[in-house]
Amino acid sequence: MLNINYPKIEKKEFPNLQLNLVEPIIKLNLRGKSREFFTKIGKILSIMLPTEANSSATIKNISALWLSPDEWMVYGRDIDKNLKLSLDSEISKLNLGSVTDVSDQWVLINLKGKNVFEVLSKGSPFDFNKFKNTNNVVVQTLLNHIDVILHHNDTNNVNLFVRKSFSEHLWLWINDSSSFL
C-alpha cells in the first residue's frame, strides 16, 4: 500500500492559540458562471454557492468559499468520492464549468483562540478589524509573503489553506510568530 505523507504539522498550543493540521479532506475548485452551473451545484451539494464577495456558505459539513465572481472552493468532511464524481460528470463533462480536485493542492491548518488574529497580523497586510467580528467570511491574502485562503468559520476559529509546497515553511513561521505574542 502507498503511504500518505504530509508535512510535519502537529498540534501546537500557545497562549490563547491552538494550531492544528486538519487531516486530508476533499477540496474542490469550481469555476463557472452560467445559471445552470449554479443550479446543478446547488442540487448536487445542497448548497448555494455564495455570490457575495469574501463570503462563505456552510451546510452541515460542507463549506463553499467565494474566491472570485466565477471561482469557489468547496471543502468538508461530507464531500466524498461519489459527490466528486457526480460533480465531474454533471459539470465538467457537460461543459457547464470546471470542477478540479485540489485536495492535495492545499493544506488546511486550523487556528483557534483569542490570539488567532494577533498571529495573522504579524505577517498579513490585511485589515482584520471587521473580519474578526464576522463569521463565514473569506479572504485570500498574503501571510509572510505566501498566498493563503483564510476562512473565518466561527468566532476566533480560522481555517487557513496554503499550497502544499509552502505549508512546511508557513507552519514553521506561524509557530515562530506564535511564540512572540
- Binding stretches for other proteins (CB under 8 A): 1-7, 24, 29, 31-32, 53-54, 67-69, 71, 92, 95, 97-98, 100-106, 121-129, 139-142, 144-147, 163-166, 168-169, 172-173, 176-177, 180
* Smallest distance, other proteins to C-beta of residue 61, A: 20
**What's the grid cell of residue 89?**
460528470
* Smallest distance, other proteins to C-beta of residue 22, A: 13
* Smallest distance, other proteins to C-beta of residue 123, A: 8
Measured CA to CA, the distance from residue 143 to residue 23 in angstroms comes to 21
Residue 1 or residue 35: which is nearer to other proteins going by CB? 1
* Smallest distance, other proteins to C-beta of residue 39, A: 18
| Strand pairing category for 106-112 and 98-101 | unpaired
Q: Are 32 and 133 in contact (CB under 8 A)?
A: no
Residue 60 or residue 135: which is nearer to other proteins going by CB? 135
Residue 29 or residue 159: which is nearer to other proteins going by CB? 29
DSSP secondary structure of 5-70: ---S---EEETTEEEEEPPP--EEEEE--SHHHHHHHHHHHS-PPP-STTBEEEETTEEEEEEETT
Residue 46 or residue 165: which is nearer to other proteins going by CB? 165
Residue whose C-alpha cell is 509557530: 175
